[in-house]
Amino acid sequence: LTETLPKYGYRRYEISNLAQTGYESRHNLAYWQDKPYLGLGAGAHGYYRQKRVQNPFDIKKYIKKCGQGVLPFETEETVDAKAHMEEFCFLALRTIWGINKQNFEEVFHKDIHAVYGEKIAALRQKNLLEETDTAVSLTTKGMKFGNSVFGEFLL
């Protein structure tokens, strides 16, 4: 598919997704770019302020909570700083744009090389990552071994 679809105007924008320009999944992009998203309806999931939430699957329970004027979350998990940094990196690396270095610094108040410098260098040496002034991203080879690369971003 990654060889055929580009002939028809599709481009890879994420490890497992191709789309025509402007038709990328906005939900998935929000997820990969650490943006908040709402979960509306029974069983839906949401993410905001480093919290993952899930509404009850049982529709009656969901409606009852909504009728009580409270947020209908059944579970709520706070993502700690370490997990947030890890997820920020490996989710961004799923995309062709990779980790935006300025965004990393704005979110975590650290230069990416202060945290991951040795790992980035080793992965570049193996031709799994490439780096520009603004981003760190997977190479074509890196796309094939994404899970191995992502594992290197676990602290």
CATH 1.10.10.920 in the chain, residues? 81-151
CA angle 110, 135, 112 (to 5 degrees): 20
What pLDDT was estimated at residue 27?
A: 86
3-state SS, residue 62: helix
What pLDDT was estimated at residue 99?
A: 98
What pLDDT was estimated at residue 3?
A: 83
Q: Roughly how many angstroms between the first and final C-alpha of the chain, as a whole number?
A: 34
> Mean pLDDT per 10-residue run, the chain (155 residues)?
88 92 90 92 94 96 93 94 96 96 97 98 98 97 95 95
51-54 and 45-48 strand pairing: antiparallel
What pLDDT was estimated at residue 2?
A: 77
What pLDDT was estimated at residue 103?
A: 97
Beta bridge partners of 115: none
What CATH number is given for 81-151 in this structure?
A: 1.10.10.920
C-alpha–C-alpha distance, residues 135 and 7, integer Å? 27
CA angle 102, 108, 114 (to 5 degrees): 80
